[in-house]
Chains A and B, each alone.
Chain A
């Protein structure tokens, strides 16, 4: 395609991307580097149905002139990124100097909101993504070998977890694992412990969310792999069979190499998706046990006093995190592309 033709074809998409992707990112980055002005506080008397009381309030007239002079707020550079709510460099330094053993050091780091959120997010991402790829692949192989009359029905049911909205799906599971729910009671019976509660235990909550994450996303992997299996070269499979390859060897040496690019694709999408874990935490009411960057943004924005700069900084860090996670896969794809051309 000529460069000029390509340009005119791409222009509408490019404009939309600029408007809806690039500009918001620029806006968030700017917002993360400005904070509200210093509040001018005065003590006044407040009265209401319960009597009068001396209280502090903001002097609006004094603050208004500050705002008019610098409407963006106070420039603080990367101060928000390094404060206790985010990277917490000061607190880590103090913990390093103050801790006698590595155990104490790590537990005081885990006590900081950002590192706690990252611990859960990365554990969740790196356990659930490989497992959901394996599970999706097994389902795809199983469905592929079914009689064609059965296939339609089985595919429909296999896709159900993905069709259910994450918030609804996690709520359903949340009620089932309640200590008085179906699964909760069953687990108590298995463990022979009538006081066992999934929701009260941090490790069990993590397991529950990871299992949910696999259950919810395995159908995605399944659909992609199933489509890939339809393009499997039949002559290669037949050759392998004639050579006496067992079923496992056929899968290992013919099927897996054939769908490897799809595995990369699913891993890419799912890494991105799982890193932004959010609905599961809300659905399971799990904020006491597990948090994520997205949850931190919600926590900053849902309080009575909203922390916009802090939320913006966390958003920028989410973007950076996704970029770091995807970089190995992206580099590999780029190399493959270079080799081919």
Chain B
């Protein structure tokens, strides 16, 4: 068995090196993207190509520079690695090109569901999926005598019990930091309540309704079981609370769950007790209160065809199935690449996808609503105003922004 595995690994790495050798490009490639491990892997693999210079700029601030770096002619970046939320900003400004001809020529190894098509044109190639889902402490829940929650109502029950039994003071964790994170939690919960963000077919927002109020009330109830500083906690801070053993239940990103307990100084209790499950539903709904995400790469519009072709070849090479032969790489994400076998850490994202979760909406004005929610909901969470007032404020802030951007008159 052991020898067989070595032989397979050897054969695969041989395959990997031959195909890396086969990657020949004829022009410059320049990639901008986020910096988490899976994207680092893709960037490094693209740099294996010979024949042209391949440079990468992988940074958490990628969203602040990718649009500016692709707007010039010729563009500085020939490719931006984006997610389903951030591709919209590039689409809105028309800086990425359709890839149909390149897919026909060089994309034989890509699966159909990796191709992101908008109005029938392939605009991006996805390589990984992501979602927020339940991460919990199996040992703590067992001590409290409760099952892993399937709904947010169960989560509240469990949290109440854990607090009453004196096991933990604030058993619920959540990335509720005012701004992007808080708005994302609203999006999750609102989708779970069956809410629609906009009036059908228009940019007119409609969140000040019964579902919106129920969403905020559920978030408020959850926050009562969180660290009182929850409005300052992003995903990193929430993970730190979990690692320190202060949190038993949280809704966390799949891309962070795999490496959550690997950090230094995490007690064995937390390591062994960690468990992952699918996302929860809320208020008797059937759609999980979460959103599905993909990460993928695009090719700039304002570059020569030779550069576009080189970029496509290099990045297709970077996400070839052989990269999964490395066990560390296979663990980094829920890959959409052919031949990916889910690891135990991927179960949450897989459950999210199979339970019929909604992808994060790809409409041109969703980003404006996200920003408005992030700025206006904190007053409600602090108990300074009513849910209706917070939602009305959000709608007003969004409307002002959408008018400025020309989405509303």
B119 and A44 contact, CB distance less than 8 A: yes
The CA-CA distance from A113 to B371 in the complex, in Å, is 13
Cross-interface CB contact of A50 among B115, B359, B389, cutoff 8 Å: B359
Cross-interface CB contact of B405 among A111, A199, A289, A307, cutoff 8 Å: A307
Q: How far is the CB of B151 from chain A (nearest CB, A)?
A: 22
B118 and A57 contact, CB distance less than 8 A: yes
A288 and B381 contact, CB distance less than 8 A: yes
Q: How far is the CB of A205 from chain B (nearest CB, A)?
A: 9
Which of A33-41, A137-145, A156-164, A245-253 contacts the other chain?
A33-41
Cross-interface CB contact of A64 among B94, B118, B292, B294, cutoff 8 Å: B94
Segment 14-41 of B: residues with Cβ below 8 Å from A: none
Q: Which residues of B contact A42 (CB under 8 A)?
A: 119
Q: Which residues of B contact A336 (CB under 8 A)?
A: none
Cross-interface CB contact of A49 among B113, B230, B370, cutoff 8 Å: B113
Interface presence of B7 (CB below 8 A): no
Segment 342-377 of B: residues with Cβ below 8 Å from A: 353, 357, 359, 361-368, 370-371, 375
Cross-interface CB contact of A84 among B129, B294, B397, B409, cutoff 8 Å: B397
Closest to B129 in A: A49
Cross-interface CB contact of B64 among A84, A197, A289, A301, cutoff 8 Å: A301
A197 and B229 contact, CB distance less than 8 A: yes
A46 and B117 contact, CB distance less than 8 A: yes
B94 and A305 contact, CB distance less than 8 A: no
Given contacts A48-B116, A305-B367, contact A55 B404 (CB under 8 A): no
B232 and A49 contact, CB distance less than 8 A: no
Q: Which residues of A contact B401 (CB under 8 A)?
A: 85, 305, 307, 310
A58 and B126 contact, CB distance less than 8 A: no
Interface presence of A178 (CB below 8 A): yes
- Chain A interface residue count: which class? 35 or more
Q: How far is the CB of A195 from chain B (nearest CB, A)?
A: 7
With most chain A CB atoms within 10 A of its CB, the pick from B91, B384, B396, B400 is: B400
Q: Which residues of B contact A48 (CB under 8 A)?
A: 84, 113, 115-117, 126, 294, 359
Closest to A44 in B: B119
B228 and A49 contact, CB distance less than 8 A: no
Interface size on B, residues (CB 8 A): 68
Interface presence of A303 (CB below 8 A): yes
Q: How far is the CB of B235 from chain A (nearest CB, A)?
A: 13
Interface presence of B106 (CB below 8 A): no
Q: How far is the CB of B67 from chain A (nearest CB, A)?
A: 7
B375 and A36 contact, CB distance less than 8 A: no
Q: How far is the CB of A272 from chain B (nearest CB, A)?
A: 26
Interface presence of B263 (CB below 8 A): no
Given contacts A46-B118, A178-B229, A301-B64, contact A57 B382 (CB under 8 A): no
Give the secondary structure class of B's interface: mixed
Number of A-B contacts (CB under 8 A): 166
Cross-interface CB contact of A305 among B84, B201, B230, B405, cutoff 8 Å: B405
B404 and A56 contact, CB distance less than 8 A: no
Q: Which residues of B contact A60 (CB under 8 A)?
A: 94
The CA-CA distance from A41 to B92 in the complex, in Å, is 10
Q: How far is the CB of B379 from chain A (nearest CB, A)?
A: 8
A63 and B94 contact, CB distance less than 8 A: yes
Q: Which residues of B contact A303 (CB under 8 A)?
A: 367-368, 370-371
Closest to B244 in A: A180
Cross-interface CB contact of B232 among A35, A56, A288, A306, cutoff 8 Å: A288
Interface presence of B203 (CB below 8 A): yes
Interface presence of A74 (CB below 8 A): yes
Q: Which residues of B contact A56 (CB under 8 A)?
A: 201, 203, 363-364
Q: How far is the CB of A94 from chain B (nearest CB, A)?
A: 11
Segment 179-226 of A: residues with Cβ below 8 Å from B: 179, 195, 197, 199-200, 202
Q: Which residues of B contact A307 (CB under 8 A)?
A: 368, 401, 404-405
A197 and B405 contact, CB distance less than 8 A: no
The CA-CA distance from A58 to B94 in the complex, in Å, is 9
Q: Which residues of A contact B227 (CB under 8 A)?
A: 179
Given contacts A91-B396, A288-B232, A304-B86, contact A47 B116 (CB under 8 A): yes
Segment 97-120 of B: residues with Cβ below 8 Å from A: 113-120
The CA-CA distance from A287 to B404 in the complex, in Å, is 23
The CA-CA distance from A199 to B382 in the complex, in Å, is 11
Q: How far is the CB of A233 from chain B (nearest CB, A)?
A: 52
Interface presence of A327 (CB below 8 A): no
26 CB contacts below 8 A, A to B, read A36-B404, A39-B92, A42-B119, A46-B116, A47-B116, A50-B353, A55-B361, A55-B362, A56-B203, A57-B363, A83-B400, A83-B404, A84-B396, A84-B397, A85-B401, A195-B228, A197-B228, A284-B232, A287-B375, A288-B378, A304-B370, A305-B364, A305-B371, A305-B405, A306-B67, A307-B405
7 extra interchain contacts, Cβ-Cβ under 8 A, other than A49-B114, A199-B229, A306-B67? A35-B406, A39-B92, A48-B115, A48-B116, A85-B397, A111-B385, A200-B229
Q: Which 10 A-B pairs have the closest CB atoms?
A: A304-B367, A44-B119, A305-B367, A303-B371, A288-B378, A288-B178, A285-B232, A200-B228, A197-B228, A84-B400
